[in-house]
């Protein structure tokens, strides 16, 4: 039994059937639709994504799932013309320095000439190679790491908005080891990020990153019909009758060597040899509490941020300063209400009618949670003021929609990896139970697929060893 029909649940079900041919897998979903936070709809000719609109091909778990599913040939690469991101400073949209990737500069000249940073910040950045490495292996926050190695202005002006766009998190609490371990490894192995960058350049591993700006868009993929196209293929790979929507699992109990699930609606009881909990942490906590109290307590203590996405279909002439890039992010120190704005129709063809632009404006998150309590019209007003200042939008839209996600983004606070290790250790006594989802080993699509596949492998091994497969 797989609980949850989002990406993690459907991936786990797919790989369970691959690992154990002929196994009967049931997937139950509390909501009316599969897909979780990833949904696609067409509104007045605009292809609107409620969640992610593409995925990274590195690490390769998501791409491998597409290959295994037989849909790799359907994937699209983002348009070349709009690649790149911008950051707001002083009300202006400025390009992320070429070659800067999250918190590492692979090229010197763009960092020296960027108007995003003051002269003092550039001098501080130039001294990074002389900053001694940290002598502790303990986790620290993204803010602490960045401030220590790159300076406070780089944190405020570049790293915070870029990281905020990915995790909707407060960098003062965000775990470095759980989200950006590669930079911790660079410091440990080479003493500094700049020395590590030089070593990578000499080894020829930085060639693609040197021409990127913020995200490496050449490594992303999407679907012509939106991300829901992927979920439809995952659902179609399951036998008829395997998926059950509008079915909430109310309780989970261990009965002898099997699992007993009570579901809502008809209050039916189902027994299963194994269970994958592909749910938010708070749901998994409730279900695990009767038999794994310590792990359940840790799961219930994990925070998740809420967000709102204002989707706008706008005529091109109604935006006075329409950027050619895929979007921009807004530092918290700028004092705006929006976190970021994505020009979805710049990424892939067919996302907006001719002569129109599709915008997705992100609000809320861990640093402005109060905005998620506002009514739709209040969010429109706040975002409208920001967009008027930043891109010259006159407030007219031919299509508009507010998408809300309540407690949908897990917060990977400092010490996250230790918490997850403790949670999983507490569940080791139950080899036929696996956790999946974005609360564990990464919020991105590839880590979610990887965690789901590992869960499927764990259960397949337990069932085979127990003679039940």
Averaged pLDDT for residues 180-190: 96
In this structure, are 172 and 202 located in the same domain? yes
Averaged pLDDT for residues 83-90: 91
Per-residue pLDDT, 346: 94
Is 386 a residue whose pLDDT tops 90?
yes
Determine the Cα–Cα distance for residues 391 and 343; give it in Å rounded to an integer: 12
Across 297-306, 432-441, 459-468, least confident range: 459-468
pTM of the model: 0.93
Q: Look at residue 378 and tell me if it is in a domain.
A: yes
| Percentage, residues of the chain above pLDDT 70 | 96
Per-residue pLDDT, 213: 53
CA torsion 60→63→65→66, rounded to 10°? -170
Q: Look at residue 42 and tell me if it is in a domain.
A: no
Is 267 a residue whose pLDDT tops 80?
no
In this structure, are 401 and 418 located in the same domain? no
Is 6 a residue whose pLDDT tops 60?
yes
Per-residue pLDDT, 203: 82
Determine the Cα–Cα distance for residues 55 and 80; give it in Å rounded to an integer: 16
**Domain end (from 362, 393, 409):** 409
In this structure, are 254 and 355 located in the same domain? no
In this structure, are 363 and 401 located in the same domain? yes
Q: What CATH number did the domain enclosing 369 receive? A: 3.90.660.20
In this structure, are 188 and 283 located in the same domain? no
Per-residue pLDDT, 469: 59
**Domain end (from 409, 428, 450):** 409
In this structure, are 316 and 296 located in the same domain? no
In this structure, are 295 and 383 located in the same domain? no
Q: What CATH number did the domain enclosing 152 receive? A: 1.10.3110.10
Across 61-75, 208-222, 389-403, 432-446, least confident range: 208-222
Per-residue pLDDT, 103: 85
Averaged pLDDT for residues 271-280: 97
pLDDT category at 206 given cuts 50, 70, 90 is low
Q: Look at residue 121 and tell me if it is in a domain.
A: yes
In this structure, are 459 and 371 located in the same domain? no
Averaged pLDDT for residues 309-334: 96
In this structure, are 283 and 420 located in the same domain? yes
Averaged pLDDT for residues 253-276: 88
* Per-residue pLDDT reduced to its tens digit, 153-179: 999 999 999 988 889 999 999 999 999
Q: What CATH number did the domain enclosing 422 receive? A: 3.50.50.60
Q: Look at residue 92 and tell me if it is in a domain.
A: no
**Domain end (from 366, 392, 409):** 409
In this structure, are 107 and 194 located in the same domain? yes
In this structure, are 154 and 122 located in the same domain? yes
Q: Look at residue 60 and tell me if it is in a domain.
A: no
Q: For residue 396, give its domain range.
A: 307-409
Look at the chain and report how many structural domains it folds into: 3
Higher pLDDT, 111 or 12: 12
Q: Are 27 and 9 in contact (CB under 8 A)?
A: yes
Q: Look at residue 450 and tell me if it is in a domain.
A: yes
Per-residue pLDDT, 108: 86
Q: Look at residue 155 and tell me if it is in a domain.
A: yes
Averaged pLDDT for residues 82-86: 82
* Per-residue pLDDT reduced to its tens digit, 348-377: 999 999 999 999 999 999 999 999 999 999
Higher pLDDT, 137 or 84: 137
Q: Look at residue 404 and tell me if it is in a domain.
A: yes
Across 212-221, 251-260, 438-447, least confident range: 212-221
Structure tokens at 389: 């200042």
Is 211 a residue whose pLDDT tops 60?
no
In this structure, are 339 and 402 located in the same domain? yes
Averaged pLDDT for residues 384-409: 97
């Amino acid at each position: 039994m797989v609980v949850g029909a989002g990406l993690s649940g459907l991936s786990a079900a797919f790989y369970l059937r691959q690992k154990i041919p002929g196994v009967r897998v049931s997937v139950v979903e509390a909501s009316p639709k599969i897909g979780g936070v990833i949904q696609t709809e067409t509104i007045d000719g605009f292809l609107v994504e409620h969640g992610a609109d593409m995925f990274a091909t590195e690490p390769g778990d998501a791409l491998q799932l597409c290959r295994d599913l037989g849909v790799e040939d359907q994937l699209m690469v983002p348009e070349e013309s709009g690649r790149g991101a911008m950051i707001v400073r002083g009300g202006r949209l400025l390009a992320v320095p070429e070659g800067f990737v999250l918190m590492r500069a692979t090229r010197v000249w763009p960092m020296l000439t960027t108007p995003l940073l003051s002269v003092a910040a550039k001098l501080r950045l130039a001294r990074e190679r002389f900053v001694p490495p940290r002598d502790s292996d303990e986790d620290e926050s993204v803010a602490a790491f960045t401030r220590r190695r790159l300076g406070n202005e780089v944190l405020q002006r570049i790293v915070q908005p870029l990281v905020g766009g990915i995790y909707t998190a407060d960098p003062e609490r965000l775990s470095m080891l759980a989200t950006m371990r590669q930079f911790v490894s660079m410091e440990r192995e080479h003493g500094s990020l700049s020395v590590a960058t030089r070593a990578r350049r000499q080894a020829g591993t930085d060639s693609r990153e040197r021409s990127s700006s913020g995200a490496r868009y050449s490594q992303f993929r999407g679907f012509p019909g939106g991300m829901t196209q992927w979920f439809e293929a995952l659902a179609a790979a399951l036998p008829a009758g395997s998926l059950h929507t509008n079915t909430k699992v109310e309780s989970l109990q261990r009965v002898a060597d099997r699992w007993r699930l009570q579901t809502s609606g008809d209050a039916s009881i189902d027994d299963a040899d194994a269970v994958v909990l592909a749910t938010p942490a708070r749901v998994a906590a409730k279900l695990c509490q009767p038999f794994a109290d310590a792990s359940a307590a840790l799961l219930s203590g994990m925070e998740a941020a809420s967000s709102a996405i204002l989707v706008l279909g706008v005529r091109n002439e109604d935006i006075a300063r329409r950027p050619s890039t895929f979007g921009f992010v807004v530092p918290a120190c700028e004092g705006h209400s929006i976190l970021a704005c994505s020009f979805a129709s710049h990424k892939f063809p067919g996302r907006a009618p001719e002569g129109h632009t599709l915008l997705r404006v992100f609000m809320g998150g861990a640093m402005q949670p109060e905005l998620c309590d506002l009514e739709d019209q209040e969010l429109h007003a706040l975002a409208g003021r920001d967009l008027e200042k930043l891109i010259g939008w006159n407030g007219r839209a031919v299509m508009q929609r507010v998408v809300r996600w309540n407690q949908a983004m897990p917060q990977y606070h400092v010490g996250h990896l230790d918490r997850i290790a403790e949670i999983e250790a507490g569940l080791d006594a139950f080899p036929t139970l696996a956790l999946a989802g974005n609360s564990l080993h990464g919020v991105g699509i590839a880590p979610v697929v990887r965690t789901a596949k590992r869960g499927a492998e764990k259960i397949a091994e337990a069932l085979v060893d127990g003679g039940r497969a």
